[in-house]
Structure 1
Amino acid sequence: MYATKTNGNFGLRMTANKAGCQYDKDNYRDLEKRYSNVETYIKQIANGKIHNLIVNGPPGVGKTYSVENYLNKYAQGKYKVVKGHMTPLSLYGNLYLHRDENSVLVLDDIDSVFKKIEGVNLLKAAIDTSAVRKISWESTSPLKGTNIPDSFEFKGSVILISNIGFNGRTKGDLSAHLDALKDRSYKLVIADGSKESCFKQVCFMVSKKNLLGDFKLSKKQEFAILQYIEDNLEKLDKISLRTAVKLAQLIAINAKDWQCMADSGLLNETEE
């Protein structure tokens, strides 16, 4: 016996059977296209045909996961993914180290770069559309002892992964500079910020991209995770890939009572 259930919020069809809850892959065509676009651009960056890309979307929808996977697949030169804090001087140094053709520098949610005009200006120079991209460091901050010149030609590529600043909601003095980055770069939007969109993203990454492969779960367990998230869509503060990963961790710890642990450890979380 099979029973079909349709969720009106985001059009996912689930078919319940002995194996659990099957999330119909045909409903992911829009996401397949979006990730195919990311792959296409990353491939062209690796080939040196494109020199910049902005990957935008809410937190935890697979932006970094996809960019790193495709770089691992296609990169022909060296690449580096930087997360956390970065000063303008450090940005300048990293751009210099990745100045050669086919080199790629990925900045993953580096908010500190956008908080200083110097950092934004360096990025503007790096992703400029002119035939020759020249980057200069004119500052009292010393470069002595670093073996880095105060000016160089940049032939590498830059990928910006961000959930802020590129969605039209940026306020303050930096908005014009962020618009200048958009004007110089290609931009791909992975998803919007609604819970429904984020949940569909999680379903896609679990069922189509093997997000939880390292946990060695059965299909029934993976579908149980997706069903748990859907059942508690309004009780969870955030819906992201991390939600599925945390639930998989609980199953690995206690396959029998993982839902009880999730009820107390996830549903009661508050946004920081």
Structure 2
Amino acid sequence: MTQENPPAAEHAELRADCAECFGLCCVALPFARSTDFAVDKPAGKACGHLRKDFRCGIHTRLRSEGYPGCTVFDCFGAGQKVSRVTFGGTDWRTTPTAAGEMFAVFPVMRQLHELLWYVTEALALAPARPVHPELRRARHRIDALTHGSSDSLRALDVNALRGEVNALLLRAGDLAREQVPGRRPNHRGADLVGARLAGADLRGASLRGALLVAADLSGADLRNADLIGADLRDADLSGADLTGSLFVTQAQLSAARGDAVTLLPAGLSRPAHW
């Protein structure tokens, strides 16, 4: 097994709690009319379905109403952090002067929380022990940044930070993949849109950042494959084995298609639409 300590407890605060958020993803972020969204919406404008209590008016009908993009978005708990910690419970409706600042902070916080999620995952990988000291320091540093002021968050160079942390995650992933004997395919950043990979042996493969949109991965063996940043939109994961797959997020699964026999990584749930 590659996992040393289940990251469930550490991940608890990195899961979205919409009841504690002021609907930030429905206002701060833009979306364009497409197969993912029924209409255009600029950043900073509230979605027409956002209710006064900051809940979504069509939450249970998002896919049928033409908003599947909303069902796969995950803020990793950044929404409640910005709403309740950074701005201390001040919402953008009752205090319009804080709106612009709050909307600018939210995307930054989301990236920080996403990094915390990945670092926590890496710290649960037993083969990655040589990197654990650096990962723990990175987690402490990122966590401290999430508790900074709105000014410090807006001034943060997130891309530079992501580059530093990504180097550690790459080393952790490589150490975990090396536990798989034999050939380990390297498809890092590959364009595999619509690829026919049904039943493929992808154990220990690097699929970091790969474009797997609409790829046929039915019955594929993805055990211990590194899927960080892989685009799985509309990919067919029916019957696939993702046991122990590295750095998989709930959003990736929600964007894909699967079935009742798809085997999932520990801690992740089978999407309702599968």
Q: Which TM-score band applies after superposition, normalised by the shorter structure?
A: under 0.3
**TM-score for both structures, normalised by structure 1:** 0.27
Q: Which has the higher strand share?
A: 1
**TM-score for both structures, normalised by structure 2:** 0.26
Which structure has the bigger radius of gyration?
1
Q: Which has the higher contact order (CA 8 A, sep 6+)?
A: 1
